[in-house]
Amino acid sequence: MSRAKLEKLGLTLPLLPTSTVGSFPKPDYLLQARARFARKEITQKELEVLEKRATEFWVQQQEEIGLDVLVDGEQYRGDMVAYFADVMPGFRMGGLVRSYGNRYYHKPIIVGEIRWPGPMTVKWWRFAQGLTSKPIKGMLTGPYTIMDWSFNDYYPDRKSACLALARVIRKEVEALVEAGAKVIQIDEPALSVRPEELPFAIEAMQMVTDGVPAYFITHICYGAFEFIYPRMLRFPVHNFDLEMSNSGLDLIGLFKKHPFNKDLSFGVLDVHSHKIESPALIKERIAKALQVIPKEALWVDPDCGLKTRTVEEAQGKLRSMVAAVKEIRQALDKAPKRKRRRIEVGSVVKKRRKKIRKHKYKKMRRRMRHKKK
Amino acid sequence: MELVLANHSSYPRVGASREQQRLRRAYAQRERGEISADDFNRVQDSVVAEVVEEQAHAGCELLTDGQIRWVDSISHLAGRLDQVEINGLLRYFDTNFYFRQPVIKGRVAGNGPLVVEEFRYARAVSPRPIKPILTGPYTLAVSSIRETPLYRDLPTLVLDLSEVLAQEVRALAGAGAEVIQVEEPAILKHPKDLRLLHKALKPLSQAKGSSQLALYTYFADATPLYESLQELPVDILGLDFTYAPRLPETIARLGSRKTLGLGLIDGRNTRMEAAPQVFPILEKILPRLSGGIAYLNPSCGLEYLPRDKAVAKLRLMKELRDTFLQRGKR
Ligand SMILES: [Zn+2]
């Protein structure tokens, strides 16, 4: 459905584009370094060297595994709200609040006017995009979720805090687009929490995405979608990335009642399970999705960020996923069609890149030719 | 009109200082098998004593044990019943807190007292009355996975849980609890089940003896149900005003036959309420209440706030109440 939008942006993606939700596990050396940094035993610079090394590792891994739309892996981020609250004027880090069992986190407090501190994610996006010719997604947390996961001492109500955040996230989106990002994912895991607030969550996202030349994805997980579907279809993004396998594929039933009219990134990997799904199981899940979503509108990815898994589990799960998608693509390709169309593998890359990137591009073209043979 | 300062239910179990985080450390040590169950209980005891003292010091008049020993408000009770196993995490209403979901495998049955010992301990270390908390049969039932065909219908489970909780109410009343709080936040999301709740509360009401039975709802707007809630067999109704902009007006119009717990202090946000927000509501509501007493309390358990903010809210509550009453005398 949004294929035209993608092509207008210069992105030609294969059928059933594969991607990931954003975070990858941090290698041991990075976890240790983060702990040492927290104890002030190493400098920010020293930590960053390792964050870059881990980012390079994951970009290379994603290429090797054969994913189509890549992420930087968030090796430099901790919590998805605190990462932004830490750098935005207007926030102060609050005391510890329990999230479950014996787990606690520092919940941010909005104490003044929230302002944009200048680009918060662009440096890392550039770094990651410099490592690959495949598109790297810009990764942001949405205004509604940042509002919902923070205390608010300053704004008169939840809506005004949310809209203030929307103005700031809009600036970050513009900065990412200016840097060259074409696909931007803005996560709103809190979206389904208070159905009565959906209208202003939509208004906020409208402020973020309106008129911006990019393809927008929103990831939502652990949602009670039955309370906000089909109203959530008014959310102004091109693609919803939903957790499907962990929720027993319940959503398919909802989609049968009221058709889903956006692109769907369909979560096929349970990120809470150590078990690596077999390609056969993943194919089954994709087949179910194809009953309710046109193949041109379907993307395939894990349920949520893979940061809770080990490096090996994450790699294994993604390999399985890509293998399953390849088989389904072949089957779809063989299926009789009125008009046979070529499916291109990989993405079209902007010309005029640095030498090193040109070299990589050539390599990729070679690989593509090789595949076509 | 007497305005009694009451805590709601839960209280933050850790604070900013190393000392205030001893329960967090003990929990981890217990999980790794480094300390015994007795060692762990001693830490829990000391934290209960600490938060009781903190509430009293902040001016609270009806205290709780802070539910310090509860993993969460569902599994702490359900996990102690026969035929119940505890499963994975589920979001607790619209909070960022997750509870462990019970799985009901067969007919539920009590297995001895649930929280009576906890109540006795808190009362022994408290200078003021302690209000024990129970999660109600309806909220427990809808938060559970019903695996046994015995409970294919929700009402059967609700009523069985009601029998179990009635025994607990009897035990708490026997132990001397003046007010026993039953929490039913889930009913606000399922108003069609009000008659079922009515039926389920009856055994509790019959077991309460000379105690007062309080029903607390929160995390949604109780205004549409206000009249029906007035019919329930309880003495006190606790209401969350933070979700309910039209509730003050509704109470002013309809009055209340029951003692009310006024949840005017937001237990979910750090912002400190100011007199111009709270006083007009009190002025509107208080003259319409019967019984000569009302409770002023947070809108929900205080565990959703960091410790420093939770205690600040209790202090603020006292300040607001005292100023309000002073003003009335002028
Ligand atoms: Zn997620």
Q: Using an 8 Å CB-CB cutoff, list chain B residues near A220.
A: none
Please report the DSSP string for B55-102 in residue order: HHHTT-SBB--BTTT-SSTTHHHHTTSEEEEEEEEEE-TTSS-EEEEE
Taking 60 as the threshold, does the pLDDT of residue B233 lie above it? yes
**Would you state the pLDDT for residue B291?**
83
Instruction: Please tell me the distance from the alpha carbon of residue B198 to that of residue B194, in angstroms, as a whole number.
Output: 6
CB contact burial B88-99 (16+ within 10 A = b; e otherwise) = ebebbbbbbbbb
* Mean pLDDT, residues A337-355: 41
Contact partners, residue A149, CB within 8 Å, separation at least 6: A81, A107, A108, A190, B96
pLDDT reading at A91 higher than 80: yes
Rounded-to-integer distance, Cα A354 and Cα B123, Å? 73
Identify whether residues A242 and A296 lie together within a single domain: yes
Average pLDDT on B170-179 reads: 98
- Cβ distance of A102 and B98 shorter than 8 Å: no
What value does the mean pLDDT take over residues B263-280?
A: 97
**How far is it between the farthest Cα atoms of chain A?**
65
Q: Do A78 and A25 fall within a single domain?
A: yes
Of B27, B94, B305, the CB nearest to A193: B94
Pairwise CB contact (< 8 Å): A153 & B270 = yes
Using a CB-CB cut-off of 8 Å, the residues of chain B touching A95 are 15-16, 306-309
The span from the CA of B65 to the CA of B131, in Å, is 8
User: Does the beta-carbon distance from B270 to A98 stay under 8 Å?
Assistant: no
B330 confidence band (pLDDT: 50, 70, 90):
low
Grade residue A252 by pLDDT with cuts at 50, 70 and 90. confident
Distance from CA of A80 to the nearest CA of B (A): 14
Of B27, B269, B307, the CB nearest to A95: B307
Give yes or no for A141 touching B (CB within 8 A): no
pLDDT at A339 over 50: no
**Looking at residues B111-132, what average pLDDT do you find?**
97
Is any Cβ of chain B less than 8 angstroms from the Cβ of A290? no
Residues of A in contact with B12 (CB under 8 A): 96-98
In the predicted model, what is the mean pLDDT of residues B286-301? Answer: 95
Is the same domain home to A12 and A48? yes
User: Helix axis angle, A158-179 relative to A198-209, nearest 10°?
Assistant: 30
With a cut of 50, say whether residue B302 has pLDDT above it: yes
> In what helix (H) or strand (E) does residue B233 lie, and over which residues does it extend?
none
In chain B, the domains with their CATH numbers are: 2-329 (3.20.20.210)
Which is more confident, A223 or B151? B151
pLDDT at A348 over 60: no
Rounded Cα distance between A239 and A265, Å, is 7
Does residue A230 have a cis peptide bond before it, meaning omega lies within 30 degrees of 0?
A: yes
Nearest Cα to A86, choosing from A117, A55, A49, A112?
A: A117
Residue B318's pLDDT band, with cuts at 50, 70 and 90, is very high
Nearest CB to B271; choose among A96, A101, A153: A153
Asked whether residue A227 falls in the same domain as residue A188, the answer is yes
Asked whether the predicted pLDDT for residue B273 surpasses 90, the reply is yes
- Closest partner residue to A96 (CB to CB) among B14, B91, B94 is B14
Kindly report the average pLDDT of chain B as a whole number: 97
CA distance B272 to chain A (A): 8
Q: Mean pLDDT check: name the lowest of A243-252, B37-46, B282-291.
A: A243-252
Inter-chain touch A98–B12, beta carbons under 8 Å: yes
Partner-chain contact B14 A222, CB within 8 Å: no
Q: Is A343 exposed, middle or buried (0-12, 13-18, 19+ CB in 10 A)?
A: middle
pLDDT digits (tens, 9 = 90+) for B42-95: 999 999 999 999 999 999 999 999 999 999 999 999 999 999 999 888 889 999
The answer to whether A95 contacts B97, with C-beta atoms less than 8 Å apart, is: no
State whether A7 and A97 are in the same domain: yes
Domain with A356, as residue range(s), is 344-373
Ligand 1 center to residue A190 CA distance, Å?
Answer: 10
pLDDT of residue B327: 87
Co-location of A365 and A314 in the same domain: no
**Which residues contact residue B90 at a Cβ distance below 8 angstroms, ignoring those fewer than 6 apart?**
B98, B99, B100, B101, B143
Start-to-end C-alpha separation, chain B? 15
Q: If you average pLDDT over every residue of chain A, what do you get?
A: 89
Say if residue A37 is in the same domain as residue A169: yes
Write down the pLDDT at residue A193.
86
Q: For A332, phi and psi rounded to 5 degrees?
A: -65, -35
Higher-confidence residue of A335 and A62: namely A62
* Residue from B96, B101, B302, B308 whose CB has the most chain A CBs within 10 Å, to mutate: B96
Residues A358 and A298 in one domain: no
CA distance A363 to chain B (A): 46
User: What pLDDT is stored for residue B328 in this prediction?
Assistant: 67
pLDDT for the residue B280: 97
Mean per-residue pLDDT, B295-306 = 98
- Flag whether pLDDT at A347 surpasses 50: no
Q: Is A236 on the interface with B (CB under 8 A)?
A: no
pLDDT of A340 reads 42
B31/A95 Cβ within 8 A = no
pLDDT tens digit sequence for A110-167:
999 999 999 999 999 999 999 999 999 999 999 999 999 999 999 999 999 999 999 9
Cβ within 8 Å of residue B280, ≥6 positions away: none
Cα-to-centroid distance, A230 and ligand 1 (Å): 20
Q: Could you read off the pLDDT of A28-74 as tens digits, one per residue?
A: 999 999 999 999 999 999 999 999 999 999 999 999 999 999 999 99
Q: Is A151 on the interface with B (CB under 8 A)?
A: yes
What pLDDT sits at residue A1? 55
pLDDT at position A245 is 66
Q: What is the pLDDT of residue A364?
A: 41
| B303: chain A residues, CB-CB within 8 Å | 97-98
- A256-297 tens-digit pLDDT: 889 999 999 999 999 989 999 999 999 999 999 999 999 999
My answer on whether A49 and A104 are in the same domain is: yes
For residue A57, the CA-to-ligand 1 centroid distance in Å is 22
Q: What percent of chain B has pLDDT over 90?
A: 95
Is the model's pLDDT at B183 over the cut of 70?
A: yes
Based on its alpha-carbon atoms, the radius of gyration of chain B, rounded to whole angstroms, reads 19
Q: How far apart are CA A71 and CA A124, in angstroms?
A: 10
Counting the structural domains of chain A, the total is 2
Residue A346 confidence (pLDDT): 36
Instruction: Indicate whether A60 and A181 sit together in one domain.
Output: yes
Q: What is chain A's alpha carbon radius of gyration, rounded to the nearest angstrom?
A: 20
8 Å CB contact between A160 and A199: no
pLDDT at A341 over 80: no
Per-residue confidence (pLDDT) for residue B46, from 0 to 100? 98
CATH number reported for the structural domain that contains residue A88 in this entry: 3.20.20.210
The whole-number pLDDT of residue A336 equals: 66
Asked whether residue A191 falls in the same domain as residue A98, the answer is yes
Q: Nearest Cβ partner of B269 from A102, A152, A193?
A: A152
Same domain, A98 and A136: yes
Q: Are strands B212-216 and B179-183 parallel, antiparallel or unpaired?
A: parallel
Q: Do A107 and B306 touch (CB under 8 A)?
A: yes
Kindly indicate the confidence band of residue A356, based on its pLDDT and cuts at 50, 70 and 90. Answer: very low
Q: For a pLDDT cut of 90, what percent of chain A falls above it?
A: 77
Are B234 and B213 within 8 A, CB to CB?
yes
Cross-chain residue pair A95–B91, CB shorter than 8 Å:
no
> What pLDDT is stored for residue A148 in this prediction?
97
| Centroid of ligand 1 to alpha carbon of A79 (angstroms) | 12
Partner B contacted by A222 (CB < 8 A): yes
Q: What is the rounded distance in angstroms from the CA atom of residue A111 to the CA atom of residue A153?
A: 5
A321 confidence band (pLDDT: 50, 70, 90): very high
Closest residue in A to B309 (Cα–Cα): A95
Dist. CA A37 → ligand 1 center (Å) = 27
Query: Is A267 in contact with A220 (CB distance < 8 Å)?
Result: no
